[in-house]
Structure 1
Amino acid sequence: MQIKWQIGMNIVLRYLFLKDQSLITKLLVFSGLLVVVPMVTVGSISYLRSSQVLEQEAGDYSWQIIEQVKSHIEYYVLDFEIGTLKMINHPDMGSFMRKGIWEEGEKTSIRNSLQTLLNNTSYSRSDISGITIILDNMEPVATSFGKSIEPMADLSQEYWYKSVPTNGEDLLVSRFVKLQDRNEPVISIIKKLVNPYTLESFGLIITDVNFRRLKDIADKVIIGRTGAMYILDSQGHYVYHPDVNEIGKKASIDNLTEMLKQGKGTLINEKKDEFVTYSKSQFLGWTLYMAVPYSELSQGTGYIGNTIVWTTIITLCIAYIFGVGFASSIIRPIRNLQHFMKKVEIGVFSQKVAVESRDEIGMLTNGFNKMVEKLKNLLEEIYFSKLKETEMSLRQKETELKVLQSQVNPHFLFNSLETIRGMSLEYEKEDIADMALSLAKLLRYNLKETSQLVTVKEELSVCKRYLRIQKYRFDNKLEYDFDMPDWVLEQKIVKFSLQPIVENCVIHGIEPNLGTAKISISATSQSDHSFQITVSDSGAGIEQELLRSINEDLQQKDILSGGSHIGIINVHRRIELLCGEGYGLFIESKQGKGTSVNIKLPKSEYWDRLNNKECATTVEIQ
């Protein structure tokens, strides 16, 4: 189960981190995320915070306006309450309350007195629509301004009737009063009449204030384009509404009960999608609130949101423009490097990748160039090594062919030499017998199939037989000397490496010399790893220009080089092929003083480290 979970997580992470996508896709996607995520985060936080700030500022601004309007209305209503108290405390009203019970004739007199009082009070204020006194035991008394007086039975059906305070405080409501030809909205200040002597309620006094004054105050309040101010009474009915037809109706607001109880606050009226700021007047018992459509309030935050969105889009576009350029500066050298890698795959090593920078990609490119250069050198070394092997193989085949050509009836040659030797001994010609014996052993050694490596002792014995034959040829004018330490005799040497050099000394050093000549073979230790055999003659020597040409031919790697010195070159190539670079021939000569051929060879204990051949891998040359 855990393994399946890990496999599933690996698949998810592979898609999440775009592991299978191109590098430029990853750069563009992640650079876009680095721009979008911070900007969206900051933009969202800024948008939410700005919304909160705008709502807070709108609420604070609305409260300031409401408090100003509330104070203005409170002072305005206070003047009417003072006027109402003056009427209640008037002597005629006092006489009325003290008498309590009136005769029928007295009622007419008191009604006239009260009406005169109401008219005088009403005439003192132009914004008073009318004043009505409704008594329990008498017909209502009102100002004579043409409005109809509502009977007590009709008033008791109003929603506010039971809410009139009995402690002498006022109740303020908005209502419609009936005029002769129309219904007119008024603000009614309603107060219970209480007999100070008996403390019993005996009626109501209602002061109707012209609604236009309140409307003028409320209409001056401007908030936003469509925001408006509203006034509710203690039961949630409209005291003021921009639409006069809504006056007296129950308000349709979410959390209306909570709004009427709290003194101050804000809420969202979801029914009309409005932002509501409200404040209650303890003096009036009214709740004043301002409602602004939430869409209008959020225009500022919408503008901020649009600004953030467009800023994000523009910034993202700019970031992508720079991102594409930056990604191209990274991808272009990588693709260029990939292009050259494909060339290397098909074997093109001659071109180099241009290094355009010193950063990690530049270092990678430079390392790739060095790697290609080393690979090229290694391939050249392998190529020349194969050429050497091919050369040696061809020359070996050539030698074998010559040997085969010389092996025409070998038993006949051996038998002939033995016959000559026998006849020489019979006629006591020991020098002829010795010469025939040496030639037979030399021929047998040449035809003997052995390893490419032999001991120095075996190679020296071949040289002695060859020189013995040559000594008979030159009538004792040839002398030779071997100065070989015992430890050298068991060292390994390439087969047929000394005899061709000795033969070369005889041909080029002894034959042109009319006098006695000498050939010397000696050996010395060069280091712990190598030793040197020197073959020298006392001949005429070699001209310096020719000597330089021969030594240069020895250093050439081309299998076709060698010119007319093919024998020496062949020996050198065979030693170098078997033993490695640093081993082989080097010739020294001075005209009139002879020539020395130096052969550098590894010691026997290091042959297994040379060239990974039969004789070994390369030995470090010290």
Structure 2
Amino acid sequence: MKFSLLKKNSIHTKLFMIILVFVCIPLLILGFFWYGKSTKTIENNAVQNSQHLLAQTNEYLDFYLNDLEQSTAPIVSMSPIQRYLDLSPGSTSRYERFTLDKDIKEEAFSSILEGRSDIFGISLINHFGMQVNNYSQVNHFLNMDQIRNRNQELLEQTEQLDAYQIMNIDFIHDTPVLTVVRKVYDVQTFETSGLLIINLRLNQIENIINEVTESHFNRVWIVNENHRIIFHPDQTELGQTFDYEENQTESQNFLINQIEDKRTLMVMDRSDQSNWTMIANVPMQAVMTNLMSFRNLTIWIGLALIGVALLFVGGFSFSLTYSLINLQKLMKKAQSGRLKFNKIKPLRFYRNDEVSDLYDSFYNMTDELNRLIEEVHHSKLKEKELEIKNRESELRAMQSQINPHFLYNTLELINSHAIIENQLMISRMTTSLADMFRYNVSNSKKVVTLKEEIQQIRSYLDIQQERFEDLNVVYDVKEEDIKEVLATRITLQPILENAFIHGYEEHGLAPSFIGIYGKRNEFGYSLYIVDHGSGMAQATKDTYNQAFRTNEPSDEKKTTKRIGMNNVHRRLHATFGQPYGLTIERSNEKGTVILITLPYLTHETKKEA
């Protein structure tokens, strides 16, 4: 009767009933019993026990650090220490300094070092840079110059240090040490006159952790307030960054994650005294052994039920899904852009129903897409060809309208009259203008050296400086570099014109600065064009940089004012290839920086340049 009921329902109803009866209901019952009665309780107990144990360990560690702080407090006021604070290299004899060093080591340092194997060494440095060091408990060779330099660096940071501060982990001759710094004050002036520096071994911290936790945890490590690891069983992890707050919430100091295919509990406890966070992990399996057999039994039962259900569902749906899977594969090919493929048919059982109609509709769609793509591609090729021809025609028309000799003779005549009339500014501007015309019109080379471009642009900027008295122009390029760097002709002038028009004039600003800087890079030569005008919007800057990266025209309006940088970049990229061209490094209210990446002169390009 059940099977006759299934035959009357739709495919969706049949699949739903099979999955509901043979998969969902059994899994829900077993899952509710398993997770509700056992796993949740065990996990909660494991978390609470581990948190309590870790908090107890942190309390012992706070006691150890507090004891160290209290033990160092009395010695900073001792007479030898106070006398050493005002000691300078030329104020006493070597014998007096030797005697004072000996008194400090025997009276002050010995009170701390006695019976403590956790102290690697202790140093005192005054504000003149003079030091007393005691590393007598180290049995191997030490480079004391390294220790003195390290102490000097800490002295230079005195203003940023607290009165008593525990620094980051460091290494002295491959020995990890934890540096503790206490400021030493002059008892008369109450000013900071030196530092007491103690380097701690990590053995005492390790002993505290092992004694309290009794190997409960798999691994315990400590992170300071800067998220730097200052204690870890694996010394290669010391000093590394560990962001324990990444998955931590305000109400929970633990998380459960997967480590090496094992569910692992990670607990954290922060000390208010040291601002250290102690972190430990323990495999959940270690605290869930009592229910392991029961969990395995339920897993096998669940897998068996899933297998039976899959047999029913798979046998029923195979004939339907096979044809749909093949159609899905064809759709993925079409999605990736491959629209031409063999037109297979669905299974014979579905040749005359909706599945067959779906196949036919898909093939008709791909055929139409192929036709449209070919039409669009053909249209774009024609547009590109027409655009190139139009630009070439415009260029030829502009060049044909200019009679270079007439312009040169006219400018020379103006220059002569200016000299006769003692109009030196007009003479300079006329000479610069003639140089610009000669370079732009008479020079037929497509590729020039950067030196030629710089020479041409000097004439342009000389004219601008005559126009704007407050304009400051800075050139910072090396002569020996730019004569070996290649560029397309008329590369710099459009960029500089953009700076004057869009950086200054459009915003009502008087041009005040133009900088041209150059340096070598791994690809060739980097040339920076800098102005102090009002830059473009961030969206405009991103649009241009995207266009430069893809070598496609930007979405900005293609007026004569906007196509300058695009044309320069496309000419550079077409001539020299990747990665040469333009990049807008910065553009804001303080100015704009344009980076032009250019190649160096090679044997193949010498003839062309």
Taking structure 2 as the reference length, the TM-score comes to 0.40
Q: Which protein shows a greater Rg? A: 1
Taking structure 1 as the reference length, the TM-score comes to 0.39
